Amino acid sequence: MEYKIEMGELVMTNGLFTRRILLPEEGGKYLLKEYRPLRGEFAFMDPDADGEEFAFTLNDVTYTGATGWKLDDVKKAEDLEAGEGVVVSLRALDTEIGVQITYIWYPELPFVRKRLKITNGTSKEQRLESVDVEQFQIGEYAAPTFSWIYSDYGRKKSIGPYRGTLQDSLIVIHHPDWESGIVLGNEAPGVLKGASVWSRGRKITLGLTHADEDFPFRKYLAAGESFTAPDVFTGVYSEQKDIHKVMNQMVSDYVRKYMGIRLSRFDEAPVYVYNTWEPFEFDIDEKMVMETAKAAAEAGIKEYVIDDGWDDCYGDWGIDYEKFPNGLRPVVDYIKSLGMKAGVWVSIGTASPKSKVYKEHPEWFFKNQDGKDCSLVIEADNKCTACFSTGWADYILGVLERLVDEYGFDYLKLDFSVVSSPYRYTKEEAGCYACDHPGHRDREESMWENYDRMWKVFDKLHEGRENLFIDCTFETMGGLQLVDYAMLKHAEGNWLSNFKGDLGEKTDLRIRQMAWWRSPAIPATSLVIGNAEMQDEGYENHIRSLAGALPIFCGDPRRLPETGRQVMKKYSEWLQKMEDKYRIMFYRQDLPGYFEPTLGGCDGFARINREDFSGGIIGFFRHGGAEDTRMVRVDGLIEDKIYQILNMEGNEIICMSGKQMEEKGFAVTIEEKFGGRLYEIAVRED
């Protein structure tokens, strides 16, 4: 891996890609000249047009790589996640604006991670907007006409032009004729992700939302102040007939190994979790928790999470002593005595108007367009949303630290909206309109500040508590079923849905659809998919379906008979064994030839260790399909290694090489119209 400067150009490569940039000389331009894989056909970039490399506006003046710069410095960069790279420092020719661009690349992957730092060296405040960290110039006809754009976590296929949304952590542009494409990854938070694929001219842009979008990014920079935009990553590839291997191997390997996500630091990933929300909702108390905890432990549950209903008042987060007369500590101790970890639900940005904190600090709370206090998530008499750019951030950090340190909670489910709501459908109902909050000047700046300061709270919580699991829900992220890379760098999981758990096979289909939709762009163990209930008649297929994400259950375990608890425990022990052997919770791959789970079809997944390729698990499902026997193939294995397929009892079903597993596969028979099977796949030890 290296970079060099030759003939006025910065050249970067790791043996898989090359990227050339014209450095500023007399013309003062900093332009992308070439970015391509070193092998195969790749004709996306316009050879006669230079990419402007980045763009942003300051006080409505647009700056790009073409607007005139002086080169200050080029030096080696180092990354905490095993990457290497280069840092380029530029200074505008006509004003005291500085730009620092960092490029990082990694072994064995054709990806470049890019960071843009903007410094206001003038004596005046500057309003920063419309930040594109990456900007590519695309050819005139073939690329935009014949490429497929895979948006929405790389799963939604369309023809361009395309304007990105809050769900676009990952976009893949694939040209099936050339068998090549471009990966676009965005680490911006929530509703502030900005991307365009030839919808702003023949360009690809990637960074933060523009001033003309529904949720515009804005940041005011004082004289001498700098702003570092969230990282983006891009990849260029060739010789791939479809994006299956790009998504399941290249992207997932990069995210797991090099992005620096919180989950990758975890010693013990959650394997079998229970949450009280359904069917109890707010109707919980000490007796109910202890009884269900005992039943849950007998069913093999590893972590027990107390959801809403334990507290006396939103915002104050004291204990409701009518429900828990002895407090929470005896309850937590009892949960742990049963061999489980304990978790608790809190709304990280909500207080009741009746709360002590609201009465003492009304200045900490959101204002709507009319200047009134409001609840972002839903209108309710017991909810007001707090603004993290005030003293609320320090206050709620103290509350959460107390819950973790005094009561021994290992899992925090942090809920409700802090920037925007998944249940509101007009752009004006997002952000804080207060003009006197110390951390933001206006509604647009408040959106960035609330995400940024919430992440800092998460980071503080993790200090000295490395195995604290933070579940940042989709409501907190601000969009329906929204999860993204920004969150993954500060929290471990995301409560992704509230699917009803009593709809039989419909629940299973929704679970598997959601797991398929978000992965492999997002690590599957971060996908906390509720609310399958463990006492349902079809609970066994709930378990099999959830084995493709984070297995989490709701319901009333007391209603599960002893035989049912033993079946649940069998799955728990098997999944724990698989996790101990293969670290399955850090992986998930599609099965070749099987796509989104649908009624009338078959679907499946694999969770195979891609570090040592020693094995993992396979899940396969029949969901109303006409055939009871189908062939299942697995790719990405070591071709000349011999792999066994074993059932859950450890009996060998078939044995074949990694190459045979990919090309031929093995037969799975499911007699039930709606059913599934779980298997172990393991390297055979000779």
Give pLDDT, residue 235.
Answer: 97
Q: Identify whether 176 is part of a domain.
A: yes
Where among 556, 581, 606 does a domain terminate? 581
Give pLDDT, residue 1.
Answer: 57
270 exposed, middle or buried (CB, 10 Å; 0-12, 13-18, 19+)?
buried
From residue 530, how far is each of 282, 511, 512, 601, 675 by CA, in Å? Answer: 16, 8, 12, 23, 20
Give pLDDT, residue 404.
Answer: 98
Length of the chain: 686
Phi-psi group of 516: left, alpha or beta (phi > 0 → left; psi -120 to 50 → alpha; rest → beta): alpha
Query: Are 263 and 586 a contacting pair, CB within 8 Å?
Result: yes
Residues 632 and 511 placed together within one structural domain of the fold: no
Q: How many domains does the chain have?
A: 3
Q: Identify whether 675 is part of a domain.
A: yes
Residues 74 and 126 placed together within one structural domain of the fold: yes
What letter would DSSP give residue 412? E
How many beta carbons lie within 10 A of that of residue 48, not counting itself?
8
Residues 70 and 175 placed together within one structural domain of the fold: yes
> Residues with Cβ < 8 Å from 161, sequence gap 6 or more?
144, 196, 197, 198, 199
Where among 558, 581, 604 does a domain terminate? 581
Residues 68 and 137 placed together within one structural domain of the fold: yes
Residues 175 and 318 placed together within one structural domain of the fold: no
CA–CA gap between residue 538 and residue 504 (Å, rounded): 6
Give pLDDT, residue 148.
Answer: 97
Residues 572 and 593 placed together within one structural domain of the fold: no
Residues 254 and 310 placed together within one structural domain of the fold: no
Residue of 351, 415, 337, 421 whose CA lies nearest to 385: 351
Percentages helix, strand, coil for the chain, rounded to the nearest 5? 25, 35, 45
Q: Identify whether 251 is part of a domain.
A: yes
Beta bridge partners of residue 385, listed in sequence order:
350
- Can you say whether the dihedral through the CA atoms of 550, 555, 557, 560 is positive or negative? negative
Q: Identify whether 432 is part of a domain.
A: no
Residues 120 and 228 placed together within one structural domain of the fold: yes
Query: Are 197 and 159 a contacting pair, CB within 8 Å?
Result: no
How many beta carbons lie within 10 A of that of residue 360, not counting itself?
10
Q: Nearest-5° angle of CA 666, CA 670, CA 672?
A: 170
Residue of 52, 70, 72 whose CA lies nearest to 62: 52
Structure tokens at 589: 């791959």
In our burial notation (b when 16+ CB lie closer than 10 A, e otherwise), range 306-334 reads bbbbbbebbbebebbeebbeeebeebbeb
Q: What is the pTM of this model?
A: 0.97
CA–CA gap between residue 392 and residue 163 (Å, rounded): 35
CA–CA gap between residue 678 and residue 616 (Å, rounded): 11
Structure tokens at 193: 């992700």
> Residues with Cβ < 8 Å from 614, sequence gap 6 or more?
581, 582, 682, 683
From residue 446, how far is each of 279, 431, 566, 595 by CA, in Å? Answer: 36, 6, 51, 40
Residues 544 and 628 placed together within one structural domain of the fold: no
| Cis previous bond, 523, omega within 30 | no
What CATH number is given to the structural domain containing 465? 3.20.20.70
What CATH number is given to the structural domain containing 255? 2.70.98.60
In the chain the first and final C-alpha atoms are separated, in Å, by 37
State the angle between helix axes of 392-407 and 443-462 in degrees (0 to 180), rounded to the nearest 10.
20
Query: Are 344 and 309 a contacting pair, CB within 8 Å?
Result: no
Q: Identify whether 122 is part of a domain.
A: yes
CA–CA gap between residue 103 and residue 234 (Å, rounded): 11
Q: Identify whether 627 is part of a domain.
A: yes
Query: Are 412 and 471 a contacting pair, CB within 8 Å?
Result: yes
How many beta carbons lie within 10 A of that of residue 559, not counting itself?
14
336, containing H or E segment: helix 329-337
Q: Identify whether 338 is part of a domain.
A: yes
Query: Are 202 and 144 a contacting pair, CB within 8 Å?
Result: yes
Residues 408 and 488 placed together within one structural domain of the fold: yes
CA–CA gap between residue 523 and residue 430 (Å, rounded): 28
Residues 518 and 628 placed together within one structural domain of the fold: no
The domain of 670 spans 589-683
Residue-by-residue DSSP string for 475-512 = HHHTSTT---HHHHTT-SBEEEEE--S-STHHHHHHHH
Question: Mean pLDDT in runs of 10 for the chain (686 residues)?
Answer: 88 96 91 96 88 96 96 86 90 96 94 97 98 95 96 96 98 97 98 97 97 97 98 97 92 95 88 96 98 98 98 98 97 98 98 98 97 94 97 98 97 98 95 96 98 98 95 98 98 94 90 96 96 93 97 96 96 97 96 96 98 97 97 96 97 97 98 97 91
Where among 581, 601, 618 does a domain terminate? 581
What letter would DSSP give residue 154? T
What CATH number is given to the structural domain containing 651? 2.60.40.1180
In our burial notation (b when 16+ CB lie closer than 10 A, e otherwise), range 191-203 reads bbbbbbbbebebb
Residues 407 and 535 placed together within one structural domain of the fold: yes
How many beta carbons lie within 10 A of that of residue 297, not counting itself?
21
Q: Amino acid identity, residue 209?
A: T
- Can you say whether the dihedral through the CA atoms of 370, 376, 380, 382 is positive or negative? negative
Query: Are 309 and 289 a contacting pair, CB within 8 Å?
Result: no
How many beta carbons lie within 10 A of that of residue 433, not counting itself?
17
Which residue, chain included where needed, has tokens 């031929």?
A: 664
CA–CA gap between residue 307 and residue 292 (Å, rounded): 13
Query: Are 434 and 386 a contacting pair, CB within 8 Å?
Result: no
CA–CA gap between residue 682 and residue 618 (Å, rounded): 11
State the angle between helix axes of 286-298 and 562-582 in degrees (0 to 180), rounded to the nearest 10.
70
By DSSP bridging, strand 170-175 and strand 180-186 are antiparallel
Q: Identify whether 271 is part of a domain.
A: no
